């Protein structure tokens, strides 16, 4: 079938797990014989399609990024004022482009990702009389403790209007139902990982500029936002270091909490035990996963958490927040309440110092990943497409 897929993030225009999902899903669908026109903002960067069946169509330049926190006044980070106007403009343009291209491409359906494309997908579906499938990778309830009503309104429209909805976990399914979606229209399709990309051995400590001789390495990798739990990570680090000073804590990623986290590390006396690495490109991410003795994902609310799968594929044991979608399918990880700083520290110590536990987690991790392939995710997505087409009534 031929699919008009609406998004805003595709490598190298990427800032999180959504970009990974869109890249890997489209590539797997294309390998199955489907044709995909992927609509995204013009980033100013050169684009390269990963498959002959994928066309990357730039809509218009935009400053939109999916993962920044927003205040209710709509002012944050790179956005400045006018966020809603920019969202509406992008959606109007993408709907018109889909309508125009449909005249020659003859799309079978529209598949949109997350809130920034909800209204564009609804409009395009009405213009070309094709079913609309909407994937929710997260909701405003996940991203912030003070949800912005305007974003909830976008999400609610997508939840109510899409013929079929894909949620990346049962946790996300419950959140989308809160937005007004009929649970009978929601299908859970988990994320996956290309494990071969991360199975490259664990030789040495490969990142320059990090002196880790004689030290265990504990890694946090993600956006530095309230949702991801980096504050809890540093407080847990403090408790670990009180018992064992030979541990190095690495914080990889960028976000609005970076100044606060640097100040917090100084207040806690962690300056010689914590390294802030900033943004890491893909190859450096692979190296730091492999170099680490433990990966911690302490998110306060995590719809899924692809980074947990990447760490496991690298042969690194994982501690997961209980409030994460990945915990529904990853049995090898140790789970913890994000607010339980003492419990998090105890679990970090146990894994670092009890070799049989760490070995068992690594061995079981391979079993966890066996069914979590992008080919399987694409197959399940294809089933949702077929369901939507079978139940579509223009």
From residue 72, how far is each of 22, 137, 139, 209 by CA, in Å? 28, 21, 15, 40
Please give the model's pTM, rounded to 2 decimal places. Answer: 0.90
Q: Listing from the earlier edge strand, what are the strands of the sheet with 318-321?
A: 274-278, 247-252, 216-221, 294-297, 318-321, 334-336
pLDDT, position 203: 53
What is the mean pLDDT of each successive set of 10 residues along the chain, which is 394 residues long?
92 76 96 97 84 94 55 44 79 96 97 94 97 94 80 93 97 95 97 89 57 87 92 98 96 92 96 92 89 95 94 96 94 95 98 95 93 97 98 91
From residue 88, how far is each of 82, 100, 109, 129, 151 by CA, in Å? 10, 19, 22, 21, 12
249-280 burial, b at 16+ Cβ within 10 Å, e below that, comes to bbbbbbbebbeebeebbeebebeebbbbbeeb
What domains appear along the chain, each with residue ranges and CATH number?
2-192+373-391 (3.40.50.2000), 195-369 (3.40.50.2000)
Using CA atoms, how far apart are residues 284 and 31, in angstroms rounded to an integer? 28
Instruction: For 194, list phi and psi in degrees, rounded to 5.
Output: -90, 90
**How would you classify the pairing of strands 216-221 and 132-136?**
unpaired
pLDDT, position 78: 42
3-state secondary structure of 112: strand
3-state secondary structure of 295: strand
pLDDT, position 209: 67
Nearest CA to 159 out of 186, 137, 141, 140 is that of 186
pLDDT, position 64: 58
pLDDT, position 236: 98
């Amino acid at each position: 079938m031929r699919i008009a897929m609406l998004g805003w993030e595709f490598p190298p225009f990427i800032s999180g797990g959504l970009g990974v999902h869109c890249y890997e899903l489209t590539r797997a669908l294309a390998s199955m014989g489907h044709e995909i026109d992927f609509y995204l903002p013009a980033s100013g960067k050169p684009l390269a399609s990963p498959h002959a069946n994928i066309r990357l169509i730039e809509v218009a330049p935009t400053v939109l990024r999916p993962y920044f926190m927003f205040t209710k006044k709509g002012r944050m980070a790179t956005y400045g004022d006018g966020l809603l106007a920019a969202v509406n403009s992008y959606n109007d343009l993408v709907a018109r482009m889909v309508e125009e291209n449909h005249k020659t491409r003859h799309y079978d359906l529209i598949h949109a990702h997350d809130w920034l494309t909800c209204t564009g997908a609804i409009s395009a579906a009405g213009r070309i009389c094709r079913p609309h499938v909407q994937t929710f990778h997260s909701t405003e309830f996940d991203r912030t403790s003070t949800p912005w009503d305007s974003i909830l309104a976008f999400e609610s429209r997508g939840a109510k209007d899409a013929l079929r909805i894909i949620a990346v976990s049962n946790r996300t399914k419950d959140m989308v139902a809160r937005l007004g979606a009929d649970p009978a229209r929601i299908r859970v399709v988990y994320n996956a990982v290309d494990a071969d990309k991360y199975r490259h051995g664990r030789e040495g400590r490969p990142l320059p500029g990090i002196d880790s001789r004689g030290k265990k390495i504990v890694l946090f990798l993600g956006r530095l936002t309230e949702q991801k739990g980096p504050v809890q990570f540093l407080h847990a680090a403090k408790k670990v270091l009180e018992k064992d000073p030979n541990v190095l804590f690495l914080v990889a990623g960028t976000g609005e909490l970076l100044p606060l986290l640097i100040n917090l590390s100084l207040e806690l006396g962690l300056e010689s035990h914590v390294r802030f690495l900033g943004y890491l490109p893909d190859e450096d991410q692979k190296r730091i996963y492999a170099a680490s003795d433990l990966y911690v994902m302490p998110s306060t609310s995590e719809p899924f958490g692809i980074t947990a799968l990447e760490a496991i594929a690298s042969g690194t044991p994982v501690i997961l927040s209980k409030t994460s979608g990945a915990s529904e399918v990853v049995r090898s990880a140790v789970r913890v309440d994000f607010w339980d700083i003492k419990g998090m520290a105890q679990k970090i110590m146990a894994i670092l110092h009890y070799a049989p536990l760490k070995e068992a987690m690594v061995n079981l991790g391979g079993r966890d990943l066996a069914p979590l392939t992008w080919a399987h995710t694409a197959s399940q997505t294809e089933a949702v497409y077929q369901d939507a087409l079978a139940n579509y009534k223009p």
